[in-house]
Amino acid sequence: MEKAKINKKLVLKRVLKPIIILVLVVTALFLIFLTTLFYYSTGKVKPSWSGNVGFAEKIFVEIGGIEQGMIIESKDASNPVLLFLHGGPGTTEYAAFKKYKVGLEDFFTVCYWEQRGSGLSYNPNIKENSMTLTQLISDTVEVTNYLCERFKQDKIFIMGHSWGTLLGSHVIHQNPELYHAYIGAGQVVNGTRSEKEIYEFMLSSARENGDDEVIKKLESLDINNNRIFSQGDYLGMRMEYVLKYGGGFTRDIRSMTPFYQLFLFCKAYTVEEKLNLIKGMEFSGRLMAHYVINADLFEELPSQEIPVFIMAGKYDYQTTYNLAYEYYEALDAPLKAFYTFENSAHSPMFEEPELFASIIANDILPHFIK
């Protein structure tokens, strides 16, 4: 009897020991994660350049009836002003600009505005019916007027990335008098045609790599119209496979993990603000993505009244290089230029930042600064 009790204790000890070890390891990892998160979540914006010049600040301004956040940086406040419109909808990009050292603040006073329902401008009380292209255009104009008044400028530059190019293209078309020029990277052009190119890229890449399961999933879809977006988890597959085959956010980022790490290690946001970055991506994407899907700039915006500069990654299969060039060729504008980034996918300013900065300094600004 005594022996049986001893055996039971030994068995119990053997069972419990690995469980206890596992709990301790998980707890330790969780504590390390929390420590890292709070260390990199001061919420303070500091200049990323050396020397005691210029300024960097995070501010909140009432725009369109709600408080909206933005980060403004400049090495010299007398520089021309640039308003950056992030992608998504809902995907803020300040952390990426800092990670990849793009250096826009060398040439501009840069406003990284985080749009209604996104990042610093997200709150759960935003009315869903206010999340429209019309409202975002109005918000953009209001931010522009704020920047013009604050920095005593008659006009500013505007730059969009991905979804931000669709927003920016409509903004300059309706309000050309407010802007010197438009710069687009990862230009949205036509949702239906772009999606067919993206689909063909994923399928051909899957065949080249012998990914039979991916091939089977893609071949089961009907891509003849926008029904593709309502089939299964197409958007999830699209995100996964475009990244996997090197046509997504950058050629090197092959999953969402490095993308989320950009936010995790950016000290400009508090923990709560980082949670809002994630919430804002879901909120804005759910309510605004249909504008990208249904876009057709050939029909809607065949001309612009201000100079247009388009930056395109040769391997972009998020919005597609070929359509960006075709739209550039068709566009009627007083001045236009198209720049191919041979080693980039969807984000040429992050993938080839030195070339991007060189084009800004040597090709674009000389047209406006004598």
Catalytic residues: 162, 316, 346
As a whole number of angstroms, the distance between CA 11 and CA 364 comes to: 75
C-alpha distance from residue 61 to each of 69, 139, 154 (Å):
6, 11, 20
**Which residue shows structure tokens 């977006």?**
229
Sheet of 156-161, strands arranged across: 55-63, 66-74, 109-113, 81-85, 156-161, 179-185, 308-313, 336-341
Contact 324, 316 (CB under 8 A): yes
Q: What is the DSSP string of 126-141?
A: S-GGG-SHHHHHHHHH
Residue 299: phi and psi, rounded to 5, are -85, -45
What 8-state DSSP symbol labels residue 116? T
Q: Which residue has the tokens 């990009």?
A: 93
d(CA 122, CA 115) in angstroms, rounded, equals: 8
Q: Specify whether the CB–CB gap between 102 and 349 falls below 8 A.
A: yes
Among the listed residues 174, 145, 180, 175, the one whose alpha carbon sits nearest the alpha carbon of residue 159: 180
Cβ(306)–Cβ(176) under 8 Å? yes
Q: Give the SS3 label for residue 332.
A: strand
The one-letter code for the residue type at 70 is: M
Amino acid, res. 176: P
Q: Which two tokens stand for residue 160?
A: 């969009």
Cα distance between residue 232 and residue 244, in whole Å: 19
Tell me the three-class secondary structure of 163-214, residue by residue.
HHHHHHHHHHHHCHHHEEEEEEECCCCEHHHHHHHHHHHHHHHHHHHCCHHH
